[in-house]
Structure 1
Amino acid sequence: MARGGGAVLSATSWLVNNSAAQGRKMISEFSKLTLRAYNAEANTLVRDLRAYNVDAAIARLSKTRETIARLGSTMHIRLSDTYHSLRVEELELTADYLVKVEEEKERIREERERQREDAKAQREFEREKARLLKEQAHYHGPIDRLSDGGDRTALEQKLAEIEAAIKGVEDREANIRAGYVYVISNIGAFGPDVVKIGLTRRLDPLDRVRELGDASVPFRFDVHVLVFSEDAVSRFIELDRGISVVTM
């Protein structure tokens, strides 16, 4: 459209030294100069655009258009509505693309973080199970050597507790949807109106909260909600839909 001459509107009759031909030449040269200045601004805005500042970029481009119209008012030189709308649409499409890129980066980051968390949880399950199995073997020997009585009953009760703990760890390990959902905040880092919802499969969920405080912000997080669920994934999604979240 710019090459076709429809991008810039101007006076249809203009005389220079009483010459219409010279007038048309002046109008043409000023129109080209105007379009070049406008496109330079538009191209800069597109190049420097960020995902969430498109409104400011559109406002700046509109201001440039107004300035051109004011400076070119003598010869009625101005950018056409159609051409300006196309450049605004270019900014909007670019912003939409940048948002999608940011969302994909965030999705990849969250997936990598989930994989790291799952790997940590798996190592914790294995260590805890090994500890409990060792403790179980420690109690089996004395029980086998004791006859029925108070001491044997107490040891059998302790052994039953250990076996229940082993089963609990195995169940947690097998059910990848089980875990803790937490809601935390950090007024010092993010202000009073921001919370983070998280999900962890760790045996001690506060380990995850402490890691967030140590790694990403200068202050420790306050824990508002900490709930275990056999289907923590669904609980997390339900909360995530209802609360504005900052993701870390």
Structure 2
Amino acid sequence: MQARNGDAVHSITNWQVNGSATEGRKMVRDFSKLMLRAYNAEADYAVRSMRPHRLASLVDRLDKSRATVARLGATMQIRISESYHRLRVRELELTADYLAKQEEEKERRRELRERQREEEKLQREIERERARLAKEQAHYRSALQRLRAASEGGAVDEAEVAQLEQQLAELEAAMAAVDAREANIRAGYVYVISNIGAFGESIVKIGLTRRLEPMDRVNELGDASVPFRFDVHALIFSEDAVGLERTLHQEFDDRRVNRVNLRREFFYVRPAEVREALQRFAGQHLLQFREEAEAPEWRASGGRSQ
């Protein structure tokens, strides 16, 4: 709108050509259009090539373009108006904000899909575990029935009966634990892992998984996207793994590797520091902690740090 209204460019108003004010105004108007076109070409390029991390550099480049217009048009006092320049800078800011929100939404959807896949894997694990426990229960119940049937009218091997009943009781407890695990969506394992070959010695990942076999999740993280497998420093089961993970993230929040995407759970922290925090927050849940990373593949490959 400002460009059409003539407010985008300011210039001298009393310029003459060969003594003609009309010719002078035409020359100033043509040069003003040319300068505005050059400035807008730079602004349009900035919009097209915008990435959120490039905002400051592109705004600086547009500032310099405006300064160049003022320098080249100094004779006729041609310059891009401050109000029009602010509008184009605002356009860059809004474009950067839109792209950032778009990236956040993509990451949110990716995280949601990943969470759904994890829940589906957990459900399959629970179903397999229930089937295994049910099969064992059927086996021991059958054995107990056969033992009692064989001992009718005779002496009963009380020790063997007691052993089978004990095994059945343990299986009942295990089945109840699986049910409780399925019902408690906050229960799971908090893991502390590192990958010296990929990230160096002072970076750890602190995450959680609800899987019954937490190492399955750790092994998945060490797939083809990183050159070496992750080393596990700690696996802590907690009835409130969600809360424990959040507490650890808050403890090391100022040392996040990625300060923009908080779903990336890497921190500039050494394992020993995490152990000290876990001793305060996890208490009796911290049964074992390995401070040194074995990193066998990395060491066998020469162990070259960045």
What is aligned with 1:222? 231
Query: Structure 2: how far apart are the matches of 1:108 and 1:171?
Result: 29
How far 1:178 sits from its partner (Å)?
A: 1.7
CA contact (8 A) 1:181 1:197 kept: yes
Aligned residue for 2:132, secondary structure, equals helix
Aligned residue for 1:247, secondary structure, equals coil
Correspondence 1:34-45 to 2 at 5 A: 34-45=35-46
What is aligned with 1:143? 144
Detail structure 1 runs of 4+ shifted over 6 Å in the superposition.
none
What is aligned with 1:234? 243
Distance 1:92 1:8, change over 3 A: same
Q: Confirm or deny that 1:25 pairs with 2:26.
A: yes
Query: Structure 1: how far apart are the matches of 2:203 and 2:67?
Result: 39
Query: Cα deviation per residue 1:54-103 (whole Å; 9 max; x = unaligned)?
Result: 11211111121122222222222111111111110111111111111111
Query: Structure 2: how far apart are the matches of 1:190 and 1:80?
Result: 49
Query: Structure 1: how far apart are the matches of 2:163 and 2:172?
Result: 14
Correspondence 1:143-182 to 2 at 5 A: 143-144=144-145, 145=147, 147-182=156-191
- For these two proteins, the number of residue pairs brought into alignment is 248
> Which stretch has the larger CA shift, 112-121 or 132-141?
132-141
Query: Structure 2: how far apart are the matches of 1:241 and 1:60?
Result: 38
What is aligned with 1:188? 197
Question: Which consecutive residues of structure 1, in runs of 5 or more, have no partner in the other structure?
Answer: none
Q: Confirm or deny that 1:206 pairs with 2:215.
A: yes
Aligned residue for 2:56, secondary structure, equals helix
CA contact (8 A) 1:52 1:99 kept: no
User: Percent identity between the aligned chains?
Assistant: 63
Distance 1:59 1:224, change over 3 A: farther
Distance 1:79 1:207, change over 3 A: same
Aligned residue for 2:193, secondary structure, equals strand
Letter in 2 for 1:171: A
Query: Structure 2: how far apart are the matches of 1:15 and 1:187?
Result: 72
> Which stretch has the larger CA shift, 54-63 or 84-93?
54-63
Query: Cα deviation per residue 1:117-174 (whole Å; 9 max; x = unaligned)?
Result: 0000000011011111111222223333153533333333333222221211111122
Distance 1:223 1:79, change over 3 A: farther
What is aligned with 1:110? 111
Distance 1:176 1:190, change over 3 A: same
Distance 1:189 1:19, change over 3 A: farther
TM-score by length of 1: 0.89
Correspondence 1:111-130 to 2 at 5 A: 111-130=112-131
Distance 1:97 1:201, change over 3 A: same
Distance 1:98 1:178, change over 3 A: same
Query: Structure 2: how far apart are the matches of 1:195 and 1:85?
Result: 43
Distance 1:28 1:107, change over 3 A: same
> Which stretch has the larger CA shift, 182-191 or 94-103?
182-191
Q: Confirm or deny that 1:247 pairs with 2:264.
A: yes
Across the aligned residues of Structure 1 and Structure 2, the Cα RMSD in angstroms comes to: 2.2
Query: Structure 2: how far apart are the matches of 1:237 and 1:107?
Result: 18
Letter in 1 for 2:46: L
Distance 1:138 1:200, change over 3 A: same
Query: Structure 1: how far apart are the matches of 2:234 and 2:54?
Result: 34
CA contact (8 A) 1:15 1:23 kept: yes
What is aligned with 1:15? 16
Question: Which consecutive residues of structure 2, in runs of 5 or more, have no partner in the other structure?
Answer: 149-155, 257-261, 266-306
How far 1:220 sits from its partner (Å)?
A: 1.8
How far 1:190 sits from its partner (Å)?
A: 4.2
Letter in 1 for 2:38: A
